[in-house]
A and B are shown apart, each in its own frame.
Chain A
Amino acid sequence: MLLVMFGAFIGSFGAIFLKAGAHQLHKGWLYLFNWRLALGVGLFLISSYFFVMGIRPPGELSVLYPMVSLGYIFTLLWSRIFFKEPFTRNKFIGLALIVAGVFFVGLGSK
């Protein structure tokens, strides 16, 4: 479970670098190959490795899924800190519904 939580943590940083790298695309298409995007994808790969380790027996999907959605919450925080994206009511409500939804999908996947 800790493995998966750590994976979600790393994955949320992957998203941050993907976003930072995506901004470079404003300069032109060749910027598709920049270190931020590469690092973002790399972090995603590492996080998926932790997810796979986490669901090996005796790990369960029903435990894994809520941990994965923790990543969404981390990302909301980082977006605010690094990109100054505002917190809005819709973001909180939407995110809460999604996290609950992922939890229940996980619960049904026992």
Chain B
Amino acid sequence: MSAAITDPLQTSERPARRHPVTLVFCCTILGAAAQVLMKTGANHMAHPGLAGMITNLPLIGGYCLYGLSTLLLVLALRDAELSLLYPVIALTYVWVTILSFLIFHDEINPWKLLGIVLIVVGVGVLGKGGRR
């Protein structure tokens, strides 16, 4: 039954196009989580200097997540256009703004809200692909 209702437009599209955008999407979530962890780490810095940094678990976790998100970006870039994928990274700002509101209780004002909406719409337009 479900096969019968599949959107013909979607199936005729090359699947290789969608997959990289999803990867970059995950990459932005990881990147935002990394930034939040780094901020947490910076807030709880026990000792200043290098010793404090390498014993700071949130900070190390943040760097690891950054590494992971870079790896995802590279995998995505293998199969898709750079000019299409790179601006999607701006979604990180959206997640960071939302997460820092939820976790650090940073304020969200109309400007930030407008910015978030514009970024999301912009990514949507890019996600529609390089169709001319």
Write the residues of chain A forming the contact surface with B, with a CB cutoff of 8 angstroms.
Answer: 15-16, 18-19, 21-23, 25-26, 32, 37, 41, 44, 65, 69, 72, 75-76, 78-80, 83, 85-86, 88-91, 93-98, 100-109
Q: Within the assembled complex, what's the spacing in Å between the Cα atoms of A50 and B52?
A: 23
Is A97's CB under 8 angstroms from B81's CB?
A: no
Contacts of A94 in B (CB 8 A): 87, 122-126
Is A85's CB under 8 angstroms from B117's CB?
A: no
Count how many chain B residues have C-beta atoms less than 8 Å from C-beta atoms of the other chain: 39
Is A23's CB under 8 angstroms from B78's CB?
A: yes
- Any A CB within 8 A of the CB of B132: yes
Contacts of A22 in B (CB 8 A): 74-75, 77-78
Neighbour of B115 across the interface among A44, A83, A102, CB < 8 A: A102
Could you jot down 6 A-B contacts, CB within 8 Å? A18-B74, A72-B87, A76-B87, A97-B125, A98-B118, A108-B110
